[in-house]
Structure 1
């Protein structure tokens, strides 16, 4: 009997573009992605349930698909979607992981009506390094912490954060003039850390900045370590040491923030109180600061890097955006001025689609459930894949093409499904700092546009490393020209 789910799965497979239409990383042999291993069922559905078993395969012995997943990113996800449909499993990181692809499957997990999907999936990857960050909390506890934290992201505080970041961004971008051929990713990463240090802690970037940045990098990369033990020289051990350094750093600064009346985020978390008198403990503040500092400067770095790359590859869009930025004059822009940069809005949204800063979101089932007619037993580690949704041809015209106009008023392809475009996640755990992050990226690109024109080498195409979050393998070489 052919069910509605069967028909939808076949339709999906027909609509997914062949890999020959997908821009693959340089030097990738398509046969590596096309190689197949024997399929098997993830778990047998309960008799009489009418549910289907999830298809998939374990991949190569020992490592499974770990290396292919991290090395090839989006093309890997599309290949699996093409073969298995919206729900499939694979062997990776020593576990069997079910992946949900496509907006419909994503919606089930992120809306989570029956509370079957827990944030415990994230804990498998990052709990040791970002313990009790907001993203790792569940249900009632998450709601309570988010409600307190919302006091640090009100409109008035957001205006203050944007005003605070302006001088740091202008000074940092101006300093690049002495290095006309930078590796842009690393320049942006240092700059966004400087912004986070200033806005989140009201402290200038000083002697501690480099070791703090290294600690954050170590924590993020440790999440996808293949060897998940503290062996000397390993990523896992480096991440644990990084976490210890960050805890000491924030704990040493916390008493002054509790005692003061600062306007930075650190102070806001120390003093945030709900109408019912709920407040964060010292441990809560430290945990949230470590997570927010990582999330803020890593995702902003990735987004600004991707947007700068596409503006370099498409100079007509760069000139269009520059015209709007120059029209603002020389004053440091606040939120109202940044809201008028419509072209950058389109470019940033398209860059977020093409390079999702968080390409996969983790969950774990806390009871038996189903997604689109497929059976997921309790205890299943689940991945939700925004990076695949962003290339689904049912919702996006020519999805591998840079086309910011798809977000314009006349098209709004992002509205074709509520989970077709989801760079900030969705549901109860949607990114609490999405407006802050968008303003930061826009303000940073504005400063670049008013000071420089930039380009990449002729024929250059960036290759993203997905070992943790997407990072350009070569750091993204660009050439800056003073305007």
Structure 2
């Protein structure tokens, strides 16, 4: 048997992953997290003399690695700890460079609105351009607005109504076929389902025979974003991401002529038909770039959100019963868009789950000019991470922020309205997620079918652990006990 020359590198990565993601008691985990305080604190850059501005303080962390591994291990817990320690604007070493971190509702609002012109999307470009080149999220300023204006035609109310009609049959064909019993790993089941839904809704069912390779390609591209070695060297996650991108380009290019034919009502065809008011359309390259990004965002974030809701409903069975009773009132017919929008108890459960587990915990930017956020001086050319997930736990906004409590979103309480940027799982400002309405409807359609078909629970004492290598996913696949009703 021939041994691959890259096998040692692969084994080393596996050993590192096992160390980073192995379960530990929460008390021990907190102690490990506090080790990030070991590094000497320094100023990022001196503010202009006489400006009265505050410097940004922080630390490099480990040589070269910075705090990259800390974030993979602790995710938003690391961001929260640094917010408590350094305040709304700090810096840290990561990915071989220095990165400013912005947290807290007020500082986030400044970065995403009033000072938005000082920030480009090149921060995302630094992490994911090689894998999601010219996706909408990576575009800045006028170009972004032009592409968003055209793309909005694919997310109108009539389009969403049609998409929901395609989601229902896909979900109903899959969910009842799930295995039952203990130890059912929910996350992989949801991942397969949301990719099927995306193929039906986005692709009109084209290319389902390639779903396995497409799913692997998406996983590779998403995970490559946090690669420590940022070059396509053999055996690296970065190289796997480059290869995944190539697979996706070939996949969408192969199906583009059928989408351009105008004989279907899927999102792929909608992007082909979409026009701005002046008649401008997307090129073939534009459509392929946008489809790669949209399809990744749609099925990854929907999977994370549905998994988080299912977890909290298992942890809180009284809420599972409340949401199920609401779904039961709809009966056996496939729900339409108005039916799904009428699931108001499910709404607040989803919102609370999105607060506790934000599918996209941070948004990346890069300063294009010297700027000031919350009185702190940030020089031009800095990589910046705005961390909305930290805002979801701000004690000035949320009562007992670590507790699952959907009633915080009910009137008259409405804690989410304490500050405009207290709750923003879909981002904010000009780059707010264009597909958030469709994503919410998809999650509700899946949960509705799950609630009608099953009850589910967790082993006593189980606590989910999220892998933050890319977007947060449960490290063990979220094992549940699934029982048919």
The TM-score by the shorter chain falls in which range?
over 0.9
Q: CA deviation at 1:179?
A: 6.8
| Residue aligning to 1:12 | none
| Residue aligning to 1:292 | 294
Q: 1:420 aligns with which of 419, 422, 430?
A: 422
Residues 79-478 of structure 1: pairs in structure 2 closer than 5 A = 79-113=81-115, 115-177=117-179, 181-203=183-205, 206-478=208-480
* Cα deviation digits, residues 396-429 of structure 1 (max 9, x gap): 0000000000001121111110110000000000
CA spacing shift, 1:223–1:473, aligned 2, 3 Å: same
- 1:32 pairs with 2:53: no
Q: CA deviation at 1:275?
A: 2.3
- 1:270–1:280: 8 Å Cα contact kept in structure 2? yes
* Cα deviation digits, residues 41-94 of structure 1 (max 9, x gap): 000111111111101011122311111111101221111111111110000110
Q: CA deviation at 1:171?
A: 1.1
- 2:199–2:208: 8 Å Cα contact kept in structure 1? no
- 2:206–2:255: 8 Å Cα contact kept in structure 1? no
| 3-state SS of paired residue (1:481) | strand
| Residue aligning to 1:19 | none
- 2:128–2:225: 8 Å Cα contact kept in structure 1? yes
For 1:188 and 1:212, the matched residues in 2 are separated by 16
| Residue aligning to 1:53 | 55
* Cα deviation digits, residues 267-295 of structure 1 (max 9, x gap): 00001012210100000000000000000
Q: What is the count of residue pairs matched by the alignment?
A: 461
- In the alignment, structure 1 segments of 5+ residues that lack a partner are 1-22
For 2:63 and 2:272, the matched residues in 1 are separated by 49
* Cα deviation digits, residues 98-133 of structure 1 (max 9, x gap): 000101110111114461011010000000000000
Q: CA deviation at 1:217?
A: 0.5
- 1:25–1:72: 8 Å Cα contact kept in structure 2? no
- 1:43–1:53: 8 Å Cα contact kept in structure 2? yes
CA spacing shift, 1:455–1:167, aligned 2, 3 Å: same
| Residue aligning to 2:20 | none
For 2:30 and 2:284, the matched residues in 1 are separated by 51
Greater displacement, 285-294 / 61-70 = 61-70
TM-score (norm 2): 0.93
| 3-state SS of paired residue (1:130) | coil
CA spacing shift, 1:450–1:69, aligned 2, 3 Å: same
For 1:112 and 1:251, the matched residues in 2 are separated by 39
| 3-state SS of paired residue (1:432) | coil
- 1:25–1:463: 8 Å Cα contact kept in structure 2? no
For 1:180 and 1:254, the matched residues in 2 are separated by 43
* Cα deviation digits, residues 316-358 of structure 1 (max 9, x gap): 0000000110110100001111112111101100000000000
- In the alignment, structure 2 segments of 5+ residues that lack a partner are 1-22
Q: CA deviation at 1:180?
A: 6.1
For 2:27 and 2:132, the matched residues in 1 are separated by 35
For 2:210 and 2:25, the matched residues in 1 are separated by 36
Q: CA deviation at 1:177?
A: 3.9
How large is the RMSD of aligned CA atoms in angstroms? 1.4
